[in-house]
Amino acid sequence: MHYGVNYTPSHGWFFTWLNPDWASVEKDFEQIVSLGLDHVRIFPLWPLLQPNRAYINEKAVSDVAQMVHLAGLHGLNVYVDVIQGHLSSYDFVPTWLVSWHDTNMFTDEKAIQAQAHLVKTVYEACEKEKNFSGLTLGNECNQFTDISHPHRHPATAGQIQNWLEALLSPMEKKAHEQGRILVHSENDAVWYEENHAFTPRFAAQLGDVTTIHSWVFNGVAKKYGPLSFESTKHARYLMDLSLAYSDNPQRQVWLQEAGSPLNVMTAGQAPEFCSQTVRAALSHPQAYGVTWWCSHDVSSQMADFPNVEYSLGLFDEHGQLKEVGKAYRDTIARCRDEFEYDENSKQNHDDHHSTTALVVPTRHGEPVMRAAQAAGGSVFTTWMNIAKQGEMPQIISSEKAHDARYCSSRGIHDLVEVQLEAGDAYEAVSDPSLAEKKSQQ
Amino acid sequence: MHYGVNYTPSHGWFFTWLNPDWASVEKDFEQIVSLGLDHVRIFPLWPLLQPNRAYINEKAVSDVAQMVHLAGLHGLNVYVDVIQGHLSSYDFVPTWLVSWHDTNMFTDEKAIQAQAHLVKTVYEACEKEKNFSGLTLGNECNQFTDISHPHRHPATAGQIQNWLEALLSPMEKKAHEQGRILVHSENDAVWYEENHAFTPRFAAQLGDVTTIHSWVFNGVAKKYGPLSFESTKHARYLMDLSLAYSDNPQRQVWLQEAGSPLNVMTAGQAPEFCSQTVRAALSHPQAYGVTWWCSHDVSSQMADFPNVEYSLGLFDEHGQLKEVGKAYRDTIARCRDEFEYDENSKQNHDDHHSTTALVVPTRHGEPVMRAAQAAGGSVFTTWMNIAKQGEMPQIISSEKAHDARYCSSRGIHDLVEVQLEAGDAYEAVSDPSLAEKKSQQ
């Protein structure tokens, strides 16, 4: 099991990459280690790594390796995201993809080749560090395809599959030989948004583990309340939902992002939300780990972030551990004891994992109606209602529900059919104030 | 008189700012000095200087000062452009102005304040260096307003005037006390394109000298031939044209950019084009100087530049002086002797400057028809036809043509009225291949 945090540098936010203050970075790592965490996920900036399609900035690449190295000195493993891409409402797209050179990062063959080359370059720069644990293609690159994006990179699902495979495949053999993981990451539009080009099947089948980004400012907290069962089990639900789309019954699921967003809860509610969310996720038998968003608050000196982004840290801008940080630390400590990985079953221990599974209607391995999976939708509601009784149900696709061997391999004995009904509460855009601002322009 | 070159770093192009190779920069400066030049114009990248609206990256600012300092060690004066902005077909716009944070750099009050703060910061970082000669707001920022721009920052002329004054005014007193210049720069859309928000009046009145960017891939070379009188006198014509819009009869004019673009001429023609263009410009009585574009060829390892951008250097990508470099060196040397500044007349010596002036129809100090000034237009054609007779005519606005004192102060004795007729040859976009690419999307 892996316990970690998404690393947001305390000094200069991700702009620290422009001129890394390594002493400050090491201090940040010390603080992170003090919480009992074992890893960080880090985010270099794409325009610094690859300022021209054919030119990789070696200094920026070596800075990534250096950050991995320093984390290792403090006992932290590191997962590196390559294509940023998108961070906290800001898009970082190299100049060779925009304006006069506008092209589509997902479908332009030369752009795809360049990104694959960058993935390989960053991987190889880090591989000498023992604590380099794996690589994520990038942070929620799927946002660029989304219909709500102000400057879309539209793509079909087939084109996205091609993009994912083009970036993952070249490194798979080496990563597996080295015991490292290669994954990709998306926000919840994958699970909830009709016609979104990144699909549940890609999320659950491509890459070595499935990554989940759970943010209850997606309508769940507003509809049910921030400390409701629905909100605090949202991450866990997504983990279970994702398994419906995997052919591998043992597929592991990484809660790669979850946070306590203060646009839908008070600071006083944040610690409890954190504890319950993390506990529910870590108790999942197939949990790979959890990585909280984020380590350090964004400095109030930085302008124009959506308000919610300033206060997601475990540490505040003065370096003080916040209540949510203590809650995360303490929850992790308890979960380490309670949900110890069982070498025999190859699973984490969980008393609450049900042998009942919801059957979600699928076609060609994809959901028939993603909106039914979203807040207020029938899949979501049925799962929550059963889970409230005490055992969290599994979820299985209609195309696999009658495969006895597969069901058995997942420990599924009972099936609950679900009639599809769309949810009414999903909000696709992470920060309503930005969406509103855009719509007024 | 000032003789210089726009400095394009030989290693890593402007991406050298990501990780400056000072030894390489110094070697470049040595080469530039070897041509007998006295200054460079340098171009930091805006997203590196100001990654967040409220956060200036001190390292990037100090790198600018360091480049100025190193140039000084080699005897070069330096003009610093701040807002890049735009360079060789690439737009560099900070992430706080695009996508979810999309706003207008010219009209958003907070964005204007941030830019003014950046201008001040860069100026003050450089002012301790004696060889810091001045500051240009940015390289052809007017492109962002242009109707042809893929992602416009539209603005009215009034808004542009406000933007120019907001960025220039705070530093004017200090700059003048220190004997430095503050200017702004635009491409020729200012002079030729109807309704372009940057206007001749702003170019000729705001800032300490008028800057001219002369590129004959704007239709002139295609219509008349690259070594035609029209092409080789294009820069000189723009200098004369600009004076029609200045209230100050002694206004100086800086040919801040001119180059030998191989999309409209052969490499064999480039040296002759250079010599004739530079000679005609430097012979202008009010010439401030000339700054060739550019010092070093873009490396062929860099991808996706328009073809024309790879070969504009005086030195090739292997560091060898090109024929055009020799021509520039030799022309400068000859002009130094021939057009020596006359302390008495406060002007450069020019046998070919006429006492005849074309009268260009204006209203409120602006041209009635900018298209008449462009290639093939009546103002352009009339000027060229008179100049071919041996003396280069001046140009005066219709609103000033009957002000005897003003005419006298410019040495204008005879007036030639021009009927307005639009040109047929102006191509607003610098690289037709990019425009074509965009139009096919």
* Side chain identity at residue A54, one-letter code: A
- Chain A nearest-CA distance from B316, in A, is 19
Give the residue among B386, B392, B438 at the shortest CA–CA distance from B417. B386
Q: Do B89 and A98 touch (CB under 8 A)?
A: no
Say whether A18 and B52 touch across the interface (CB within 8 A). no
Chain B residues near residue A101 by CB distance under 8 angstroms: 89-90, 304, 434
Q: What angle do CA B365, B370, B371 make, to 5 degrees?
A: 165
**How far is Cα B9 from Cα B89, in angstroms, rounded to an integer?**
17
Query: Chain A contacts of B152, Cβ < 8 Å?
Result: none
CB A220 within 8 A of CB A234: yes
Q: How far apart are CA B85 and CA B116, in angstroms?
A: 14
Nearest to B260 by CA among B304, B286, B226, B290: B226
**Residue A364: exposure state from Cβ atoms within 10 A (0-12, 13-18, ≥19):** exposed
Indicate yes or no: CB of B89 within 8 angstroms of CB of A101.
yes
CA distance B46 to B60: 9
The model's confidence at residue A418, banded by pLDDT at 50, 70 and 90, is very high
Please list, in sequence order, all residues whose beta carbon lies within 8 angstroms of the beta carbon of residue B152, skipping any fewer than 6 positions away.
Answer: B144, B145, B146
Q: Which of B19, B48, B91 sits opposite A100 (nearest CB)?
A: B91
pLDDT greater than 60 at residue B326: yes
Q: Please state, in angstroms and rounded to a whole number, the distance separating the CA atoms of residues A219 and A430.
A: 9
User: What is the pLDDT at residue B441?
Assistant: 44
Place of tokens 């114009």: B41
The structure's pTM equals: 0.96
Q: Given the DSSP bridges, would you call strands B77-81 and A347-348 parallel, antiparallel or unpaired?
A: unpaired
- Give the mean model confidence (pLDDT) for residues B262-278: 98
Residues of B in contact with A47 (CB under 8 A): 47
In this structure, what are the phi and psi dihedrals at residue A279, rounded to the nearest 5 degrees? -60, -45
pLDDT in tens, A329-384: 999 999 998 886 666 666 666 666 789 999 999 999 999 999 999 999 999 999 99
> For position A351, what pLDDT does the model report?
60
Q: Judge whether residue B65 has pLDDT over 70.
A: yes
Compute how many other C-beta atoms are within 10 angstroms of the C-beta atom of residue A128: 10
> In angstroms, rounded to a whole number, what is the distance separating the alpha carbons of residues B205 and B252?
11
% residues pLDDT > 70 (chain A): 94
Residue with tokens 């340098």: B42
pLDDT at B238 over 50: yes
Q: Do the chains contact at B89 and A100, CB–CB below 8 Å?
A: yes
Residue A338, amino acid: E
Q: What's the mean pLDDT in A15-44? A: 98
Residue environment code for A377-416, b if the CB has 16+ CB neighbours within 10 A, otherwise e: bbbbbbbbebbeeeebbbbbbbbbbeeeeebeebebeebb
DSSP strand pairing (A132-136 vs A181-183): parallel
Handedness of CA B114, B120, B124, B127 (dihedral sign): positive
| Nearest Cα to Cα of residue A117 among A153, A61, A167, A186 | A167
Evaluate whether A355 touches A392 at the Cβ level (below 8 Å). Answer: no
- Look up the ipTM and state it: 0.95
Average of pLDDT values for A410-423? 96
Mean pLDDT calculated for residue range A133-148: 96
Instruction: Please judge whether B51 and A101 are an interchain contact, meaning their C-beta atoms are less than 8 angstroms apart.
Output: no
Q: Which residue has the tokens 């950050």?
A: A67
The sign one gets for the Cα dihedral A11, A13, A18, A20 is positive
Using one digit for the tens of pLDDT, what is the confidence trace for A115-131? 999 999 999 999 999 99
Q: What is the DSSP string of B41-79?
A: EE---HHHH-SBTTB--HHHHHHHHHHHHHHHHTT-EEE
Which chain A residues touch B96 with a CB distance below 8 Å?
Answer: 90, 303-304
> What mean pLDDT do residues B271-275 have?
98
Beta strand pairing call for B86-87 and B353-360: unpaired
**Predicted local distance difference test score (pLDDT) of residue A441:** 44
As a whole number of angstroms, the distance between CA A232 and CA B218 comes to: 62
CA–CA distances in Å: residue B244 to residues A429, B236, B419? 53, 13, 16
Number of neighbours of residue B346 by Cβ within 10 angstroms: 10
Residue B79: its pLDDT value, please?
Answer: 98
Tell me which DSSP letter residue A322 carries: P
Nearest CA-CA distance, residue B52 and chain A, Å: 7
* pLDDT value, residue A73: 98
- Asked whether residue B61 carries a pLDDT value surpassing 50, the answer given is yes
Is the pLDDT score of B388 beyond 70? yes
pLDDT at B431: 54
Neighbours of A303 (CB within 10 A): 13
- Asked whether the beta carbons of residue B91 and residue A102 sit closer than 8 angstroms, the reply is no
Least confident segment among A335-344, B181-190, B362-371: A335-344
Query: Could you tell me which residues of chain A have a Cβ less than 8 Å from any Cβ in chain B?
Result: 12-13, 15, 18-19, 47-48, 51-55, 57-60, 89-93, 95-96, 98-102, 110, 149-151, 301-304, 434, 438, 441
Nearest CA to CA, how far is A85 from chain B (Å)?
11
Is B259 exposed, middle or buried, given 0-12, 13-18 or 19+ CB atoms closer than 10 A? Answer: buried
A14, closest residue in chain B (CA to CA): B51
pLDDT of A170 > 60? The answer is yes
Instruction: List CB contacts of B158: < 8 A, sequence separation 6 or more.
Output: none
C-alpha to C-alpha distances, A42 to A4, A13, B47, nearest whole angstrom: 11, 12, 21
Q: Would you call B52 and A101 a contact, using CB atoms and an 8 Å cutoff?
A: no
Instruction: Give B135's strand partners.
Output: B80, B182
| Residue in A21, A99, A153 to test binding to B, most B beta-carbons within 10 Å | A99
Give the separation between CA A412 and CA A24, rounded to whole angstroms: 49
Tokens of B172: 């004017």
The answer to whether A150 touches A429, Cβ cutoff 8 Å, is no
- Min CA distance, B273 vs chain A (Å)? 28
Put simply, the answer to whether A89 touches B100 (Cβ < 8 Å) is yes
Considering only CB atoms, which chain B residues are within 8 Å of A19? 57-60
User: Which residues neighbour B86 within 8 Å (Cβ) at sequence distance 6 or greater?
Assistant: B92, B138, B139, B140, B141, B143, B144
Answer whether A55 sits within 8 Å of B101, measured CB to CB. no
Taking CA atoms, what residue in B is nearest to A439?
B100
The pLDDT, as a whole number, for residue B433 is: 58
Q: Where are the alpha helices (DSSP H) in B283-416?
A: 323-338, 378-387, 404-409
- Average the pLDDT over B376-395 and give the result: 96
Tokens 């499935």 belong to which residue? A210
Nearest by CB to residue A15, choosing from B15, B52, B101, is: B52
Average pLDDT over every residue of B160-178? 98
Q: Is the pLDDT of residue A438 over 60?
A: no
Work out the average pLDDT over B163-172.
98
Nearest residue of A to residue B48, measured between CA atoms: A18
A433 has pLDDT over 70: no
| Dihedral sign, Cα of residue B264, residue B267, residue B268, residue B271 | positive
Encode B142-157: b = buried (16+ Cβ within 10 Å), e = exposed. bbbbbebbeeebebeb
Flag if B52 and A95 touch (Cβ within 8 Å): no
Helix (H) / strand (E) element for A354: namely strand A353-360
Backbone angles phi, psi at B215, to 5 degrees: -130, 115
Nearest to B89 by CA among B241, B240, B217: B217
C-alpha B243/C-alpha B397 separation (Å) is: 9
